[in-house]
Structure 1
Amino acid sequence: MRFYPEGLLYHQPENKLGISTPFQLKESMASQKILESKAILCDSQHNLVVQLGCMKGFIPREEGAIGIGEGTTKDIALISKVNKPVCFVVTGFQEQNGETIALLSRRKAQQICYREYINQLAPGDIIPAVVTHLEPFGCFVDIGCGIPSLIPIDAISVSRISHPKDRFWVGQEIRTIVRSLDENGRVFLSHKELLGTWEQNVSQFHAGETVGGIVRSIESYGIFVELTPNLAGLAEYKEGVQAGQNASIYIKSLIPEKMKIKLIIVDAFDAPPTKPEVQYFIDEGHIDHWCYSPDCCSRMIETNFQFPLEE
């Protein structure tokens, strides 16, 4: 069974078939198949009503997510699902006001996801995720069946950003890498290792070229400009330049042994926000070790997934 972040199963043909008729729902119940459909209502007791293909479904509050019954998950996790696809397994049927209602459990779908997918993950595994919300300290993602995890802001990219919104948007499908797991089933993620090494990024540029960049910070000794999410250089100070502006950048020199790029800002200007696609140098499989630094550089930036840091 493949486990999707919520919303990605919704339009799949096998999902549409699974909710299409009462017979298919009963077949799905017998096999404990995970399905998705849109929640149309959260009532005053925080039970979710789901519109299936052939009838309505009902997710009791305690079945809305792992931790709701115990109080470790807040009810906002249910309220916020209205008008969005939710995952579930069918647990039964009941008659209500002359119509048949399917009884559903999102909690059990999440338990299956933990047992058959998340608990099998190891540090260094590359997995898909969907961005659910952004906070100043990091990016929350759904790694399967609505189960949340966090990418800390300093693990998003090598080039520093002031807020995760500089890199991601809600609903975006991304790739992440498992940094570590704890005994409570929490998964800690990273992202920067998938965006390439210094050499891989710098190979796209050459001294003497003028290219586009984004101003990231203004310092007394110069201005840091991002060329790619994992590559930034230092430009000479220029009056009137502000963080967040787009810029035309002249590449003065590339210095691998110091892992530095010297730049000159030709022009800096405000531009409408965009949603650029992430360029991954690796987007599937598993890695044990990642080294950002060139071999000729004494300064080491690396991640060893075989010996993950304790969270």
Structure 2
Amino acid sequence: MSEYLPEGKLISEQENINILHSLKMLEDAKNSEKILEAKACVCDSSHNLIVDLAGIKGIIPREEGAIGIKDGSVRDIAVISRVNRPVCFVVTDITEDENGKPIVMLSREKAQRKCLDAYISRLRCGDIVPARITHLENFGAFADIGCGIVALMPIDTISVSRIEHPAERFTVGMDIKAVIKSVENGRISLSHKELLGTWEENAERFCAGETVSGIIRSVENYGAFVELTPNLAGLAETKEGVRAGQQASVYIKSIIPEKMKIKLIIIDTFDYKYNPKCPEYYCDSDRIDRFVYSPENCRKRVETIFDT
């Protein structure tokens, strides 16, 4: 398994566990600068992280807590917020306290720099990477793409069907896939909708005459847009009392690929509390150069081209 993974992915790996239980293996890991993971249990008054190495005390000094702490470009909250969570690190030294007990000095910053140099700096637009959601804002989702290094996924790139907030799709800690959308001045932007299938791939799951579930996404004077899947929505005839955000039972009148339209009738609606599930992906490769969402026989062409 690659060591350049979102933080928390290595902690349960057997190799990682074995190393944490052996001073000799920790010494070997120090010499090879191998990236390891363990749980941060305390952040002391000086903002040093105390890490549990299977009963051995590990210390990540404050300035080694994350890239940017030393020069002040990153605030200490980046360190404090790691308490009770997995942290990645490399071993920098093994010493003893006044009672002869081992103390292992660690650096998360060095692990992140190693990840940047060997992995993230080599990513190009269109590369598909594993990611883990770290926090959600109105404008998008932030995801760890390796060793706690975070990139933004703007809300309009999460799915074709529009949402009001990323919490409608993701939960913090959810493991997902993401596409590198852009790399500018060292900042990486992510996309997601290109992995959720084309219009035809999603429409193939439905047939005219079926009654299926959906989510009311918007209500206009000419009808209501109903999401059937994250990358597929149809237009329903207006019905009194229908509100955006409701769950709906809808009857499929027709599916028209050449117009990229699905006509629906709302049978019933009820209030709905979002409980996001892990996304269903239609792409199993590690790269995508071009994504054509629209059907081949549709006049309107909807596509994404990833410039390398």
**TM-score, normalising length from structure 2?**
0.96
- Native 8 Å contact 2:168 2:274 kept in 1: no
Q: How many residues align?
A: 306
Which residue of structure 2 lines up, in the alignment, with residue 7 of structure 1?
A: 8
Contact 2:167 2:276 in 1 (8 A): no
Kindly provide the CA deviation profile for residues 65-97 of structure 1, in whole angstroms up to 9, marking residues without a partner as x: 001111111111111100001000000023334
Instruction: Give secondary structure in 2 for the equivalent of 1:143.
Output: strand
What residue in structure 1 maps to residue 194 of structure 2? 193
Q: 1:280 is matched by which residue type in structure 2?
A: Y
Equivalent position of 2:135 in the other structure: 133
| Contact 1:91–1:103, Cα closer than 8 Å, also in 2 | yes
Question: Is residue 239 from structure 1 mapped to residue 245 from structure 2 by the alignment?
Answer: no
Distance 2:249 2:278 in 1: 20
Alignment-derived partner of residue 147 in structure 1: 149
Amino acid corresponding to residue 205 of structure 2 in structure 1: Q
Q: Distance in 1 between matches of 2:300 and 2:77?
A: 45
In 2, the alpha carbon distance for the partners of 1:178 and 1:203 equals 28
Equivalents in 2 of 1:70, 1:257: separation in Å? Answer: 56
DSSP-derived class of the 2:146 partner: coil
> 2:160 maps to what in 1?
158
Task: Kindly state the Cα deviation for residue 45 of structure 1 after the two structures are TM-superposed.
Answer: 1.6
Q: TM-score, normalised by structure 1?
A: 0.95
Aligned partner of 2:299 in structure 1 is: 298
Q: Is the 1:22–1:54 contact (alpha carbons within 8 Å) kept by the matching residues of 2?
A: no
Once residues 108 and 52 of structure 1 are traced to their aligned partners in structure 2, the CA distance between those partners, rounded to angstroms, is 18
- C-alpha contact 1:39 1:84 (8 A) present in aligned 2: yes
Residues 114-133 of structure 1: pairs in structure 2 closer than 5 A: 114-133=116-135
Structure 2 unaligned residues grouped into runs of 5+:
none
Q: 2:274 aligns to what?
A: 273
Preserved contact between residue 175 and residue 283 of structure 1 (Cα < 8 Å): no
The amino acid across from 2:83 in the alignment is V
Q: Is the 2:39–2:85 contact (alpha carbons within 8 Å) kept by the matching residues of 1?
A: yes
Q: Would the aligned equivalents of 1:88 and 1:106 in 2 still touch at CA under 8 Å?
A: yes
Q: 1:253 — aligned with what?
A: 254
Structure 1 match to 2:181: 179
1:49 aligns with 2:50: yes
**2:139 aligned partner, one-letter code:** F
Task: Specify the code of the residue in structure 2 equivalent to 1:116.
Answer: A
Q: Deviations over 1:161-187 (max 9, x none)?
A: 000000000110000011121232x22
Deviates more, 1:244-253 or 1:188-197: 244-253
Shift of residue 49, structure 1, vs aligned partner: 0.6
Residue type of the alignment partner of 1:216: R
Matched with 1:101 is 103
Report the Cα offset of residue 63 of structure 1.
Answer: 0.4
Deviations 1:191-222 (A, max 9, x none): 00000111111111111111111111112221
Match of 1:208?
209
Query: 1:169 matched to which residue of 2?
Result: 171
Tell whether 2:259 aligns with 1:287: no
What is the Cα deviation at residue 54 of structure 1?
A: 4.0
Look up the SS of the partner of 2:307 in the other structure: coil
Q: Structure 1, residues 136-157: CA drift from partner, whole Å, max 9, x if none?
A: 0000000010000111000000
Q: Report if the CA contact (8 A) 2:176-2:278 is conserved.
A: no
Between 1:17-26 and 1:134-143, the stretch displaced more is: 17-26
Contact 1:250-1:265 within 8 A present in 2 as well: yes
State the one-letter code of the partner of 1:100: P
Aligned equivalents of 1:2 and 1:38: distance in 2? 16
- After the TM superposition, which segments of 4 or more aligned residues of structure 1 sit over 3 Å from their partners? none
Secondary structure in 1 matching 2:88: strand
1:31 — aligned with what?
32
Distance 2:252 2:48 in 1: 58
Q: Which moved more, 1:61-70 or 1:1-10?
A: 1-10
Secondary structure of the residue aligned to 1:257 is helix
Q: Considering only aligned residues, what root-mean-square deviation do their CA atoms show, in Å?
A: 1.2
Distance 2:81 2:284 in 1: 30
> 1 CA distance for matches of 2:148 and 2:160?
28
